[in-house]
Amino acid sequence: MEAAGAGPGDGLKKGTAADRVPPEAIRAVPVRHWGRLVGALVVLALLVLLVRAFAGADTIQWDVVGEYLTHDTVVEGALRTLWITVVSMALGVVLGVLLAVMRLSDNQVLSGVAWGYIWFFRGTPVLVQLFLWYNLALIFPILDLGFYRDEMNDVMTPFLAALLGLGLNEAAYMAEIARAGVLSVDHGQTEAAHALGMSRTRTTRRIVLPQAMRVIIPPTGNEFINMLKTSSLVSVIQYEELFRAGNIISSRNLAVMEMLLVVTVWYLALTTVFSVGQYYLERYYARGSQRALPRTPWQRVRTNLGTFRTRSVVRKEETR
């Protein structure tokens, strides 16, 4: 400051050269978080103990785990798990969206029926529903659709029972998720589309659903991952998926824990792959909702590499 008596405001008004020089950057000693450090060390120590306990347990034959990880029966089981999950989810999503549309309809009969469906399928355990479908022959020994007639026991294969049990149950949950998504879209959007002369169907398809997707996708991804795991239940109705494949092998080689670990690894791998897929799907539907899209992990890695490089350059210049 050139004038000793000048107040802070005076300097601003004059805009002297001295004021335009930015003040020195703050270089303070950061607060040390000792508690955090101790906590981290304790947790790490416990983790090491846990890993050592498993790795050192000579009751687990790790070579068996490794050997069966890619065993044909296991791989086939994993593929079946994937298949039943995908088709059940597909059935659940399609039927769920239909039910959501019915529930939102002005038609009292349609919305009432949809409500009843959700009430029943959400209100009973999937395990019970699976057995109900599997044992349907006890009520209807013969399936007679007029144009098609067969023994129910031949029609209701483990696969079909699993598909109906999982898919119809899922539809009840998907209906509520889709309905929440549609309700989350501002009513002004529908009005703006109508004011432009767009029909109701077109408004739903072009304006409402794309915006509802942002709300629908995260819980749907959650449902998908849940379904990957819930599908292990269908082992009780003889569908030979991953969990049952593991059981079949362990009943032969008696390596119960080893086969459970093999199955665990597979489930984790499957859910991981789908979590990554969900991330990118969410990113796609987030366009327009934020000023800039969040960066993908890969983009983040690349920019971080970039900053490392510039940081080291800066450091070199500083030392010069």
- Give the binding site for another protein (CB under 8 A): 186, 188-189, 191-200, 202, 206-207, 210-211, 285, 287-291
Cα 266 to its chain centre, rounded Å, is 17
CB of 210 to another protein, least distance (A): 5
Q: Whole-angstrom Cα distance, residue 215 to residue 185?
A: 9
- Strand 149-151 and strand 142-144: the pairing is antiparallel
CB of 13 to another protein, least distance (A): 24
**Which tokens in the block code for residue 233?**
């239940």
CB of 200 to another protein, least distance (A): 6
CB of 207 to another protein, least distance (A): 6
Cβ atoms of 173 and 230 within 8 Å: the answer is: no
Query: Smaller CB distance to another protein: residue 28 or 195?
Result: 195
Full DSSP string of 182-245: HHHS-HHHHHHHHHTT--HHHHIIIIIHHHHHHHHHHHHHHHHHHHHHHGGGGGGGT---HHHH
Query: Smaller CB distance to another protein: residue 199 or 303?
Result: 199
Query: Smaller CB distance to another protein: residue 103 or 214?
Result: 214
Query: Smaller CB distance to another protein: residue 9 or 188?
Result: 188
Closest by CA position to 92, among listed 186, 185, 164: 164
Q: Whole-angstrom Cα distance, residue 167 to residue 90?
A: 8
Query: Smaller CB distance to another protein: residue 105 or 264?
Result: 105
CB of 16 to another protein, least distance (A): 31
